[in-house]
Amino acid sequence: AQQYGYQGDWENYEDMRNADLIQVIERRKGLPVALALLYITAARGQGWHCEGINFPSHFLIRLSLGAERCILDPFNGGKILAPNDLRDLLKYFGGGEAELKPHFYEPVSDHALLLRLLNNIKARAVAAQDLARTDEILTRMLLIAPKEAIMWHEQGMVRARRGDIGGAIESMGQCKTHAQDPKLKKFAEIALDKLRQHLN
């Protein structure tokens, strides 16, 4: 990180380029999760064990070399974080009453890491009211997590707003199929009825 100058984009955190891996590589700055993905890829390329961890609000990674383990902050130039640093970071994002908990150190799967990155891209598309881009990113997310009913529901709503009734029906149908929550399944059924009325 120090050699190539990778760091977080403090000045323009919400810049869409910060979640685009190509732009992150070219600009040498980006979001914590995007930088973490580059760190993990580079570390594994060296044969090291590296993974994201479930720390709230700020994505961190854990590097293991034999019996040695450390937690790094890719957004801050790969700084190694001591327990007091982690506590300060948690209180900064979670408030003065927040306390460290064991599950904050649980590993994040590669699937979850990619979804978290794509969710950042989607959030920026939603903020920009770019429905086509939002739909595109949701399609990518659903390739990774095809049974996530809530994402199918979101895509159905986006497609309905775009006027893509056929696509909305397809997405809501998938939502109904995969929904475990009875309320979500009912919402999907109601949405499907309304969408089909538009076709008649």
Asked if residue 81 and residue 18 are part of one domain, the reply reads: yes
Residue with the bigger pLDDT between 13 and 142: it is 142
Is 113 inside any structural domain? no
pLDDT > 80? residue 189:
yes
Q: Which whole number is the average pLDDT over 46-67?
A: 92
Same domain, 71 and 13: yes
Same domain for 78 and 22: yes
> To which residue do tokens 């939603």 refer?
126
pLDDT digits (tens, 9 = 90+) for 76-135: 999 999 999 999 999 888 787 878 888 999 999 999 999 999 999 999 999 999 999 999
Q: Which CATH number do you get for residue 189?
A: 1.25.40.10
- What share of the chain in percent tops pLDDT 90? 83
Report the number of distinct structural domains present in the chain: 2
Residues 27 and 102 occupy one common structural domain: yes
In this prediction, residue 21 carries a pLDDT of: 93
164 and 86 in one domain? no
Report the amino acid identity of residue 92.
Answer: Y
State the average pLDDT over residues 35-64. Answer: 94
Query: Do 149 and 104 lie in a common domain?
Result: no
Question: Are 134 and 126 contacting, i.e. CB atoms less than 8 angstroms apart?
Answer: yes
Same domain, 15 and 99: yes
Among candidate residues 75, 108, 141, the one where a domain is terminated: 108
Q: Which one of 61, 77, 108 terminates a domain?
A: 108
Scanning the chain, the segments in alpha helix (DSSP H) are 21-27, 32-45, 83-94, 110-127, 131-144, 149-162, 165-178, 182-199
Q: Is residue 59 scored above 80 in pLDDT?
A: yes
- Say how many CA atoms lie within 13 Å of 81 toward its Cβ: 24
Q: Are 162 and 132 in contact (CB under 8 A)?
A: yes
> Tokens in use for 199?
């076709």
Dist. CA 190–CA 153, nearest whole Å: 12
pTM of the full predicted structure? 0.84
Whether residue 195 is contained in a domain is answered as yes
Range of the domain at 30: 7-108
Q: How far apart are the first and last CA of the chain?
A: 58
Confidence of residue 1 (pLDDT cuts 50, 70, 90): low
Q: Are residues 35 and 93 in the same domain?
A: yes
* 123 falls within a domain: no
Shared domain check, 142 and 104: no
Structure tokens at 87: 């506590």
Under 8 Å between Cβ of 115 and 144: yes
